[in-house]
Amino acid sequence: MQIADTIQGVEVCGLAHFSLAETLDCGQAFRFSFQDGRWQGIAQGRQARLIQKEDGFVLEGCSLAEFERQWRRYFDLDRDYEAIRQSFLADPALAVCARYAPGIRILRQDAWETLVSFIVSQNNHVPRIKGIIERICTLFGEPVVGGYAFPTAQKLANLDEPALEPLRAGWRSGYILDAARRVADGRLPLDQIACLPLKEAREALMTVRGVGPKVAECVLLYGMGRMEAFPLDVWMKRAMALLFPGRTPEDFGPYAGIAQQYIFHYSRMQKIG
């Protein structure tokens, strides 16, 4: 991987496979969109404008310092995805999925934002999930260049259900408030939970109302960098039954979560089941 500080911004190249489209639109993040030839979105209070290149991407208008401070970790650039992907090719069924969208990466998103996002995701369509999350930001987040940051837990913890009514989030509003209050008052220390053994971390997250096994697993994988986490939603359950009968998440090893993302994306695009 090479990193260059250019007039345009920071250019990252030399990546074996890296796809903004596959990474930003594979169901792990909800605040990025593609318009005018570039991906843009806001993460950790900063706007990113990204252009796909042959073997990497450009972060437009980004300084090297900001890249190092934030985006290098966000895009998980120091992990050797190609080596991990190659190891998946030994399994014929997994190879099909890993070859389908080889440019997928797991983003290392903010744990709090991920928690709320996947609470919102339950029994919901992606377009509506995106809409609710955007309303959370525009109504309660701080304005930043290019839009609004995701609001802090403290900010939401001071609200009540009537105040959340404009979100049109349905019964999930109560769940969001419970999560916010637990994070704000220290009952749910996300940065500490991120370091716990997987089982204990799951149990801690599931103390939040509306957080079950699936949402907890998504927070661990997308918001806590726990690559061994393996979310099982309806698509994954169908795919597992069909493509990997008898296999358990543990069978996929320490990077099971990355395998999961290949399988999930493949099964959604192919509409398995």
Q: Applying CB under 7 A, which residues contact DNA?
A: 26-28, 121-128, 131, 165, 168-171, 206, 209-216, 218, 231-236, 260-261, 264
Cα of first residue to Cα of last residue in the chain, in angstroms, is: 38
At 38 the three-state DSSP class reads strand
Least Å distance between CB 168 and DNA? 4
Rounded distance between C-alpha atoms, residue 243 and residue 68, angstroms: 39
C-beta closer to DNA: residue 67 or 75: 75
C-beta closer to DNA: residue 59 or 98: 98
Rounded distance between C-alpha atoms, residue 195 and residue 193, angstroms: 5
Least Å distance between CB 10 and DNA? 27
Rounded distance between C-alpha atoms, residue 5 and residue 260, angstroms: 34
Least Å distance between CB 132 and DNA? 8
Least Å distance between CB 4 and DNA? 31
> Beta strands 143-144 and 9-13: pairing type?
unpaired
C-beta closer to DNA: residue 87 or 124: 124
C-beta closer to DNA: residue 125 or 145: 125
Burial (Cβ within 10 Å: 0-12, 13-18, ≥19) of residue 38: middle
Least Å distance between CB 109 and DNA? 12
C-beta closer to DNA: residue 11 or 121: 121
Burial (Cβ within 10 Å: 0-12, 13-18, ≥19) of residue 60: middle
